[in-house]
Amino acid sequence: MDDPDHMPLIRLRGIDRVYGSGEAEVRALDGVDLDIERGEFVAIMGPSGSGKSTAMNVIGCLDVPTKGQYFFNGVETAHLTQDQRALLRRHYLGFIFQGYNLLARTSALHNVELPLIYKGMGRAERRAAALLALDKVGLAHRALHDPSELSGGQQQRVAIARALAGNPEVILADEPTGNLDTKLSSEIMEVLTDLNKEGLTVIMVTHEADMAAFARRLIWMVDGRIERDGPTQKEAA
């Protein structure tokens, strides 16, 4: 039963996401209820088409539910305008994707600075925040290198630094190790684990069980529904 005096950082209630209509209708999410507290490290898994990426897009305000309520920090997002949702993403959420999405002909530092320009941050403050974020992922010494001069793992670290630079409350990571080998994948997961230990909320979609094991909570989705939700094996041990 919900505690009326407590609102988690993220609360989904009765969330449906339907695409198309009639015979072409696809129900990507089907009555999803989910609470995520501040400071959690959650992995979302499931077979292809299970709804895990759609759930991530709804949580990240990149998509809008067809039905149901989504509260972020106690605010019902359905009441937000498109511009207000964009502000929520900009100020509270950091995104990491499987493709690093870095600008090829500009330095790691400038790639990390870029979203801070959109936040209206001044040049000196922006540079300091970007350098601090690169330092957090162990790449301050590579700040002036272009992506072509960095390994895949280093490029993903730059992408993590870019997500961190805006000082978000939540990191949303969609298959963050999908393009990396096992060793580099583990390095990236260690970075996310350390950030979570510092208090950052991390929500990650993955199809790799060994990567999900780094999280503290595992949500398993099937056919748009949450089938299992509980601690990962290391937390249950």
Residue 146 located in a structural domain: yes
- For the cut 50, the answer to whether the pLDDT of residue 187 exceeds it is yes
**Count of the separate structural domains present in the chain:** 1
Residue 152 located in a structural domain: yes
Q: What is the mean pLDDT of residues 209-234?
A: 94
Residue 3 located in a structural domain: no
Q: What is the mean pLDDT of residues 39-67?
A: 95
Residue 5 located in a structural domain: no
Q: Which helix (H) or strand (E) holds 30?
A: strand 26-36
Percent of the chain with pLDDT over 90: 83
Q: How confident is the model at residue 5 (pLDDT cuts 50, 70, 90)?
A: low
User: Which DSSP string do the residues of 181-218 spell out, in sequence order?
Assistant: -HHHHHHHHHHHHHHHHTT-EEEEE-S-HHHHTTSSEE
- Structure confidence at residue 122 (pLDDT): 92
CATH number at residue 19: 3.40.50.300
Q: What is the SS3 assignment for 176?
A: coil
Query: Of 78, 77, 65, nearest to 19 (Cα)?
Result: 65
Q: How confident is the model at residue 237 (pLDDT cuts 50, 70, 90)?
A: low
Residue 54 located in a structural domain: yes
- For the cut 90, the answer to whether the pLDDT of residue 88 exceeds it is yes
**Per-residue model confidence as pLDDT tens digits over 94-110:** 999 888 889 999 999 99
**CA angle, 21 then 27 then 30, to 5°:** 135
Residue 230: CB atoms within 10 A of its CB come to 11
Residue 130 located in a structural domain: yes
Beta bridge partners of 96: 173
Rg of the chain on CA atoms, in Å: 18
Q: Is the model's pTM score more than 0.85?
A: yes
Residue 4 located in a structural domain: no
Q: 48 lies in which domain range?
A: 10-236
- Structure confidence at residue 119 (pLDDT): 84
User: For residues 68 and 13, is the Cβ–Cβ distance under 8 A?
Assistant: yes
Mean residue pLDDT of the chain comes to: 93
User: For residues 53 and 206, is the Cβ–Cβ distance under 8 A?
Assistant: no
Residue 2 located in a structural domain: no
237 versus 49: the higher-pLDDT residue is 49
User: For residues 203 and 218, is the Cβ–Cβ distance under 8 A?
Assistant: no
For 54: left if phi > 0, alpha if psi spans -120 to 50, otherwise beta; the answer is alpha
